[in-house]
């Protein structure tokens, strides 16, 4: 884990400086960034949009943690998976480097209240978004039952952190390398069958996972909330790129969400829209990996 020297935290710079960095697994990185204006107002469930440099695209990332005290250099912590050009560029930055733009906090915060027993189901990098929600729910007096999943044990992240904000923690891996073999939906179904009286379930992770969780809870009438991750550009409701259909009505995830009722969400449409640009993403990544610069063949699109 990299950390900036405590006796020279700004390295002569001002702005959104990375002050710590750690690799959670080969595909997931955590960075802490100086951003007092965001940390002061951040709440569970919200996100930021950042731009690495002048030619960079805008990337939405959920807030994992934040720290602010009046008169101090407030910070935010972001966790992201580096698969595309922009996230790989972000992962290549080091402690002391500056991110050009960070806007936030954006989106509506989670509705935190005492529901009684709360299920928090998370998979992959969605665990980073689930953590502050689980933490806030625990602080509100709920019994938090967390189900943490991944394809295998090496891809599990934030197990200790989630355990620290949960009354009970269950782990599942697709291959059975840790915890129960199978999917997080299997664990949730078994807990419901064991008469866990969930007042609400939060599901955050890959879209197929959230869709299955919605179908597990639907027959039991358990209110289920999902945090959606459609393609997003401006984050202010102007571009319309992040539109989703909820309850038969078009919503914008950036200003109406990102959290919605899982039982009213059109997951089929969401999954279809997420598959619209894979060829462009592959072309951009191939272009970058050939060493031809940060921009790509789709720059003029």
User: Once rounded to an integer, what is the mean pLDDT over residues 118-133?
Assistant: 96
> pLDDT tens digit string along 52-103?
988 888 999 999 999 998 767 799 999 999 888 889 999 999 999 999 999 9
Report whether pLDDT(271) > 60: yes
> pLDDT tens digit string along 229-258?
888 888 888 888 889 999 999 999 999 999
Q: At 260, is the secondary structure helix, strand, or coil?
A: strand
Strands (E), the chain: 2-3, 16-25, 28-34, 47-51, 59-67, 75-81, 98-99, 101-106, 117-123, 143-150, 168-173, 180-181, 198-204, 224-227, 243-246, 249-252, 259-261
* Cβ 195 vs Cβ 181: under 8 Å: no
Domains and CATH numbers, the chain: 2-106 (2.40.30.10), 117-274 (3.40.50.80)
* Cβ 191 vs Cβ 120: under 8 Å: no
Average pLDDT, rounded, for the chain: 88
pTM: 0.87
Report the distance separating Cα 120 and Cα 147, nearest Å: 6
Residue 301 or 223, more confident:
223
């Amino acid at each position: 884990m990299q950390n900036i020297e405590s006796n020279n935290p700004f390295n002569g710079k001002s702005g959104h400086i990375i002050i710590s960095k750690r690799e959670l697994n080969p595909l997931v990185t955590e960075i802490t960034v100086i951003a007092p204006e965001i940390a002061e107002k951040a709440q569970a469930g919200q996100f930021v949009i950042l731009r690495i440099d002048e030619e960079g695209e805008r990337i939405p990332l959920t807030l994992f943690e934040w720290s602010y005290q009046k008169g101090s250099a407030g910070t935010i912590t972001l966790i992201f998976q580096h698969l595309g050009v922009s996230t790989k560029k972000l992962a290549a930055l080091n402690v002391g480097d500056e991110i050009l733009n960070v806007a936030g906090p954006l989106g509506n915060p989670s509705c935190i209240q005492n529901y009684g027993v709360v299920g928090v189901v998370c998979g992959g990098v969605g665990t980073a978004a689930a953590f502050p929600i689980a933490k806030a729910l625990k602080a509100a007096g709920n019994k938090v039952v967390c189900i943490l999943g991944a394809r295998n044990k090496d891809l599990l992240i934030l197990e200790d952190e989630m355990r620290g904000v949960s009354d009970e923690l269950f782990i599942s891996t697709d291959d059975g390398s840790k915890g129960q073999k199978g999917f997080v939906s299997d664990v949730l179904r078994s807990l419901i069958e064991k008469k866990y009286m969930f007042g609400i379930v939060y599901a955050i992770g890959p879209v197929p996972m959230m869709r299955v969780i919605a179908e597990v809870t639907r027959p039991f009438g358990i209110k289920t909330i999902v945090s959606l991750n459609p393609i997003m550009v401006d984050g202010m409701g102007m571009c319309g790129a992040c539109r989703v259909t909820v309850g038969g009505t078009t919503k914008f995830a950036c200003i109406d969400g990102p959290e919605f009722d899982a039982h009213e969400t059109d997951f089929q449409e969401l999954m279809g829209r997420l598959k619209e640009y894979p060829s462009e993403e592959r072309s951009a990544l191939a272009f970058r990996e050939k060493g031809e610069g940060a921009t790509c063949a789709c720059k003029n699109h």
